[in-house]
Amino acid sequence: MSRTRPCFYNPCELILGTQSVKKILPAMLALLVLAACGSAETQADRDRSFARDQQSLDSAQRNATVECRDQSQCDKVWKLTATYVQQHSDTDVIRTDALAIDTDLPTRNGRVGYSATRVPKGNGATIALFGQCRGMYDPEQSRGSAYDECFKKITTTQNKFADFVSQQPSGN
């Protein structure tokens, strides 16, 4: 009477042989350990990148703040600011008055709405452009699902604002 072995097998052993599996298994485990180390390093890189991006956003906000010296200059800059907000917002302008320009809140991820303020200062004013983007931050104020897209849109638009309002012909 012949004895049959139970039908338990390892497909890798059938293909590669028992010795090959014994050699490959430690190498695969080593690769898994290295991948885990790489993931932690990647998270640290992402954290540093996020911190740098936040500094760039702060810088862009400073770049999107301009001073005007008198009523006439401020009125021209304010009119150009309204045009700039309208041209760059993904949402409609819902309010424009002597002190604020507001757009509707973005309703879809990656959409940006801009607003501006005009704060009197002596005979002139300080005019600042602000960006708000849906999905830029999660509830814990860390990187949201649309962060990269929002970051690019806001920093680009804010960094170009001062040039836009200062390089326009004086007749505008």
> What is the C-alpha separation between 106 and 12, in angstroms, rounded?
54
pLDDT in tens, 109-127: 999 999 999 999 999 999 9
- Residue 43 confidence (pLDDT): 82
88 and 42 in a single domain? The answer is no
In a domain, 24, yes or no: yes
pLDDT in tens, 13-56: 555 555 565 666 666 666 666 555 555 668 888 889 889 999 99
- Residue 34 confidence (pLDDT): 59
Closest C-alpha among 83, 119, 87, 113 to residue 100: 119
pLDDT in tens, 59-70: 999 999 999 999
86 and 149 in a single domain? The answer is yes
Residues in a beta bridge with 130: 115
Closest C-alpha among 112, 125, 111, 116 to residue 82: 116
Q: What is the mean pLDDT of the chain?
A: 85
- Residue 172 confidence (pLDDT): 45
Segments forming the whole domain that contains residue 143: 64-166
Distance of CA 41 to the CA centre of its chain: 21
49 and 130 in a single domain? The answer is no
In a domain, 109, yes or no: yes
Q: Does residue 75 carry a pLDDT above 80?
A: yes
- Residue 32 confidence (pLDDT): 64
In a domain, 140, yes or no: yes
- Residue 90 confidence (pLDDT): 96
State the average pLDDT over residues 67-85: 97
In a domain, 25, yes or no: yes
In a domain, 78, yes or no: yes
**By percentage, how much of the chain surpasses pLDDT 90?**
65
In a domain, 2, yes or no: no
Number of structural domains (the chain) is 2
- Residue 110 confidence (pLDDT): 95
- Residue 69 confidence (pLDDT): 95
In a domain, 171, yes or no: no
State the average pLDDT over residues 85-106: 96
> What is the C-alpha separation between 148 and 161, in angstroms, rounded?
20
In a domain, 172, yes or no: no
For tokens 């695969």, name the residue.
28
